[in-house]
Every structure is written in C-alpha cells, then in structure tokens.
Amino acid sequence: MASHNESIIREPLITGKDITYAKITEDILSPVENKPNKAWWIGFTVASLGALLWVFAVSYTFWYGIGAWGLNKTVGWAWDITGFVWWVGIGHAGTLISAVLLLFRQNWRNSINRSAEAMTIFAVICAATYIVAHMGRPWLAYFSLPLPNQYGSLWVNFNSPLVWDVFAISTYFSVSLVFWYTGLLPDIATIRDRAKGLRRRIYSIMSFGWSGSVKTWQRFETVSLILAGISTPLVLSVHTIVSMDFATSLEPGWHTTIFPPYFVAGAIFSGFAMVQTLLLVTRKVLGLENYITMFHIESMNKIILLTGSIVGVAYLTEFFIAYYSGSEYEQYTFLNRFIGPYWWAGCMMYGCNVLMTQLMWFKKVRTNIPIAWALSIIVNIGMWFERFVIIVVSLHRDYIPSSWAMFYPSWIDVSVFIGSIGVFFTLFLLFIRVLPSIAMAEVKLLLKSASEQAKKKLIDEGHVEESQAEFYKESLTKFDSVEIADYEKV
Amino acid sequence: MSSTKYILGLFDDPDEMMNGIDNLQRNSVPIYDVYTPMPIHGIEAKLGIKESRLGYAAFMFGCLGGTIVFSMICYMLVLDWPMNIGGKMHFAVPDFIPITFEWTVLFTAFGMTGTFFFATHLFPGRAPRVMDLRATNDRFVIAIDAKGNIPHDDITNLLKQSGAVEVKHNDRKYVSYE
C-alpha cells in the first residue's frame, strides 16, 4: 500500500495541524508565487553588491595579472586555493544529504535535500571561479584538457593530481547538476500547473513536459537511486583527489597519508555547517518550521559533532605521526602552527573546529537555534582557517630557512574571497525565489506516515502502548513548532 | 453518443486511489494511466508495468566511459608520447584509476539520465500532456479511456464508491494545450 503507520517512538518529520497535500504545495511555493518581502530584498542587495565586488576583483586580477595578489616566491599558493578547497568542501554536504542519506533510507533528508543540493552546486561554482581566477590567463583554460595540439601532440600529464582534480571537479559539478535538476522536474511541473501566462510558458519549458504518470515515476525512482549510488563514491573521490593535490607533494605538513579521509570528513563537517547556516535562516524567513523541524536541526548538529570529532582525531593523528616520524622538518611544521608567526591561525583552526563543536554533546546546545547558528558559522570560520594553516603555514617555512617568508593578502585577495561569498548568496537567494526550496513530492510521501498529525491520530485512537506514547510526547518537547498543550488533554 | 473521451477519477488520498484501481480491475475496466503528485509504490505492479531496465543502460554507459578514458590515457601516455618520469614505467595503472573512475561515473549519470529523458519523452519545450492540472498538486488521478468502456455511469459509480472526491468526463484528452 501507499502508506503504513510508522513506529510511534520515531520523531515526526512534518509537524503542524491540518496539513494536507494542498497545504504542503501552498506553504512551499509561497515564496515562489508571491512577491519577495523586505528581508529578501535587503539580503539580495547586499549579496549582489558582494557579487559585484567579485566581478571587480577578478577583472582586476585578469587585467594586472596574479601579481595583484599577495603571493611571493615561497608562498606561491595561498588565498585562492584556500578559498577553492573551502568551497568544494562546503559543497559536499549537499551530495551527502541527497545521495548517502537516500541510500540509508533516512527520510529526514526529504525536506532538506533540495536546498542542500542547490548549495552544493553554487559552492562548486564559487570553487570553480577560483580555479579560473588563479590561472592568470583564463582564456588558456583549455590547456588543462587533453586536446590534440601542434606541440606534438603534447598531452596533459595524467599522472598529476592536478589533472585528476580537473576531471573530478568537472564530473562532480555536472553530475550534481543532473541529479538536482532531475529531482526538480516534478516540482517544476507543480509550479507550471498552477501558473498562468508567461510564467506557465517558462516553467513548462523547464519542466520538460513532466506529467507524473506511473511509468515516469517508476523510471524516475530508478534514476534517483542509481544516481545516488554513483554519487556516493563520487563525492568521496572528489575531496580525496583534492587532498592529493597536497598529499602527493613532499612538503612537510602536506606529505601525509591521512589526508584523503581527513579532508572528506572535514568537507562534510563544513558542508553541514553551511547547510545549517542557510536553513536556520531560510526556515524562519520563509516560514517552513513545519517541514524543517527541530529533529532535522538536531540531526544535522549530530552529524556536525561526529564529523568534527573525526576531524579532531585526524588532527591528533597528524601531531602524533609528526612526532613519531622523527623527521625534524615535519615536527617543526607542526610546532610552527602554534609558536610561529601564524599562531593565531592555528588557534582559530583547532579552537573553532575541535573545541567549539564539542559543545554539541549537550542536547541543550544542539536544540538551541541561535547557538546552533552561531556554532555553524564558527565551524565555517574554523574550516577556512584549517585550509589556510595547511596551505600557507606549511609553505611559508619549509626546508631552507633562507627562503622563509610571510604571506600577506592584498586587498584584491580579500575582495575575491568576500566577493565569492556574495556570488554564493546571490545565487542562493535567486534559487529560493524561482524554485521550490523543499522537494514537495518527497515531503508529500511522508505526510501519511511520518507526520505529527498522523501520529497524533494514532495516539488519539488508542492504537499505541501507553509507555511508547509517553516516550513520544517527551521527544516532542524540544520541537519549537509543536503545541505541547494539545497533548495534555489526550 | 456522448462526446466523453476520458473519464478521470480524482482522489485526495493515495490509499483510496489504490482501492479505486482494485475496484476497477475487479470489474474488468482497463485503466489508461494514473497520474500522481508523488511516486506511489505498488501501482506499477497493479497496472502490470515491467521493471525499468535503466539499470542495465546505466551499467553499459559506465563500462563505456571507463573504457574510453582508460584507452585514451594509455594511447596518450604510453603509445603516443611516453615521458620518462624518474624512470618509472609509462603504463602507470594506479595513476590512471582516478580519472577512469570519474568518467565511469560521468558516463553513467549522463547516459542513464539521457536514456530516461529519451524513453519517457522528456525534453525542454515538450508540451506537457496533463489530464488534470491538480495531478501535480494534491489529486491522485485514475484515467480511463472512455471509448469502448461503457456504460460510463457504471465507471463513475465504481470510482465514487472507492472514494473519488470528483469524477470528470473530459471531452479532450489533455487540458494543458489551452
């Protein structure tokens, strides 16, 4: 049958009373079908000013060359690659939510996967802009592809992790885009069938003529499952390969076998933090508290805690291996993170990523929205500093003391970074205006089994054991979108 | 002679719609198609729709992608321009694995999704063949070809009995061309 009763002790995934299929559509489409409010315009104005700053800073870089950045002979890789790895890492959570949680049948992904995937795509776009910007002569970008040429043909070196990265990032971006857009088709069709005139025309083209017939849905589900199956190893491979950009070199601080799992955990860590940053605001501003519930928030905080702890273990392992290796260069690199001129960056890295996230062990912290939001931002700051420490602090003092140098970002460096945040938020704000920020079809699937009203009905009808009902009511107290008073009478 | 082309049973609950399908089938009324706002498991079995073969297509596309890029790298780095990198062998298989993997995934994704779009006739700009505009919102629609399925009132009654909130007798097959 289409639906069955879910165990009462599981927390509800949709809260609120009198939720119908039509109400789900109404609630989720209201930002798409109505004029934007003031909060959106303010956000959009600030974000697009940021995006303009990016356009300016990148144009300046192209005009005057990479010399506009703070790089020098010793630190030849700094701000740009830090930003690149940071953004790629942020992207990972979207794929994790949409693919890995689908394979594990975690139904709570249904209401957050769409916006998380959109975030993935925008984050990878931001990451890609750094690659293009740091080339200096971006019109020669095709040199990174194995195209026949007049030098022999001289092919690209497929032994190099940088070439692997070209393939990994482009595959990751395009597969994520396909996954996201295929999932969007039924929801775009919903907008189309409610719209009139030109809007209907536009959404009709975008909907690819989706009809929702049995065969379409059946194939759609097969496609989603297989895309999830291949995206799971893909997302792990992407940050593995990004980490190999560093790990295959001989630089102390980079030449480490732990890098691939360490980077992947860090990527998921920072990605979930960014999802949290965005969704806590989106849920409030768009009034989606019934669909993105406290259960979702707490679950994401648990993942942040888990991955943050994995990152913490990786840090400890690095220190131990540096000590145990007996290599003085390696040992100095790790000491230098605390006693060198960039000690503050090291403190930010270890403090934000390890110490602060350990607060998530407390349920009070995990379910407190302002604190969770602040922590999610702290995690992203920490993860930025992690990349800065790994890249700049390792490079600035390597084997030969005579070549030691400092890296100071130029204002163009800073502008490119702030600008890319502007680009990201501009894209995200446009997304929530024109496309549904929650996968409507997937949330509708949960209505009859995992919603608060379905469970309340079970309790009211006396189908559940008393002790289990008590346990369930107890779990509802943390929800900010549930009227606990309704349960007192029962 | 009525001008009805399709009879639509509109349900507001997926379970009742499943009842409706059973009811119609018990009375030997053939169902043209069912339109739902979300995937409902079990309909395809009732309507006798075979399992999708897209998985096979995906596997073949994956094999194709992996083979193409592995052969390409071997041609470029081993046959066409072997480079001496520290005296290591040119046929450095471990180095070829990441890109081979990436293209396997790339071809699987694009090949399979392309096949899905092709087989289901989905492409940008296709006129949507929609029988009822609420089928993508909150109605679960059973469509019955009116031609040959008479008397129409019996079908209406069957649908009503199963819990249909509305039964439509449409003179046109699709509403979305308007």
Q: Each residue of B28-55: pLDDT tens digit?
A: 888 888 999 989 888 888 888 888 899 9
| Domain boundaries along the sequence of chain B | 6-50+126-170, 54-119
Q: Do A21 and B62 touch (CB under 8 A)?
A: no
Residues 6+ away with beta carbon under 8 Å from B26: none
Contact A171 B103 (CB under 8 A): yes
Structure tokens at A381: 């700051």
> Which chain A residues are within 8 Å of B98, Cβ to Cβ?
161, 164, 167-168, 237, 241
pLDDT of residue A231: 92
Amino acid (one-letter) located at A32: V
Cβ contact, residue pair B35, A212, below 8 Å: yes
Do the beta carbons of residue A450 and residue A6 sit within 8 Å? yes
Minimum CA–CA partner of B137 in chain A: A190
Mean per-residue pLDDT for B149-164? 83
Give the position of tokens 């041609």.
Answer: B75
Model confidence at B139: pLDDT above 50: yes
DSSP string, A89-114: HHHHHHHIIIIIHHHTT-GGGGGTHH
Res A2: pLDDT: 45
A301 to each of A48, A93, A367, A479, how far by Cα in Å? 30, 13, 8, 15
Quote the tokens at residue A466: 């008393």
Q: For A399, phi and psi rounded to 5 degrees?
A: -65, -40
Task: Report yes or no: B22 at the A interface, CB cutoff 8 Å.
Answer: no
Delineate the domains of chain A, giving CATH numbers in brackets.
21-145+155-450 (1.20.1630.10)
Considering CB atoms only, which of B101, B124, B137 is closest to A194? Answer: B137
Q: Looking at the partner chain, which of B44, B112, B135 has a beta carbon nearest the beta carbon of A212?
A: B135
Task: Tell me the pLDDT tens digit for each residue of B9-21.
Answer: 898 888 888 888 9
Cα of B170 to nearest chain A Cα, Å: 17
State both tokens at B131: 């029988």
Rounded to the nearest 10°, the torsion over CA A17, A21, A25, A27 is 0
DSSP string, A332-378: HHHHHHHHSTTHHHHHHHHIIIIIGGGGGGSHHHHT-HHHHHHHHHH
Interchain contact, B133 vs A193, CB within 8 Å = yes
Whether B120 and A216 lie within 8 Å, measured CB to CB: yes
Q: In this complex, do A212 and B129 lie within 8 Å of one another by their Cβ atoms?
A: no
SS3 content of chain A, % helix, strand, coil (to 5): 75, 0, 25
Residue B77 burial (CB count, 10 A): 23
The pLDDT assigned to B1 comes to 52
Beta strands per DSSP E along chain B = 6-11, 33-35, 140-145, 166-170
Give the fold, CATH level 3, of B6-50+126-170: Alpha-Beta Plaits (3.30.70)
- pLDDT of B150 above 80: no
Is the separation of the CB atoms in B138 and A20 below 8 Å?
A: yes
pLDDT (mean) for B129-152: 85
B38·A207 Cβ contact <8 A: no
Looking at residue A321, its pLDDT comes to 92
Is B137 close to A157, i.e. CB distance below 8 A? no
Chains A, B: CB contacts under 8 A, how many?
204
Q: Largest Cα–Cα distance in chain B?
A: 87
CA terminus-to-terminus distance, chain A? 29
| Closest B-chain CA to A22 | B138
Best of B97, B112, B120 to disrupt the A interface by mutation (most A CBs within 10 Å)?
B120
pLDDT (0 to 100) of residue A1: 41
B14: nearest CB among A3, A220, A227: A3
- Nearest by CB to residue A190, choosing from B17, B122, B136, is B136
Say what the pLDDT of residue A286 is. Answer: 86
For residue B105, list chain A residues with Cβ-Cβ distance below 8 A.
171, 175, 230-231, 233-234
Backbone angles phi, psi at B6, to 5 degrees: -135, 140
Rg (CA), chain A: 24
Q: Which residue would you say has higher pLDDT here, B174 or A384?
A: A384
- How does DSSP classify residue B77? I
The string of DSSP letters for B128-178 reads P--S-GGGGTT-EEEEEE-TT---HHHHHHHHHHHT-SEEEEESSS-STT-
Cis before B151 (ω within 30): yes
Is the Cβ pair B55, A222 closer than 8 Å?
A: yes
The whole-number mean pLDDT for each consecutive block of 10 residues of chain A, a chain of 490 residues, reads 70 86 89 87 94 94 90 90 92 86 87 90 92 87 89 89 92 93 92 88 90 91 92 92 92 90 92 92 88 91 93 93 90 91 92 90 91 93 93 90 92 93 94 91 87 84 83 84 73
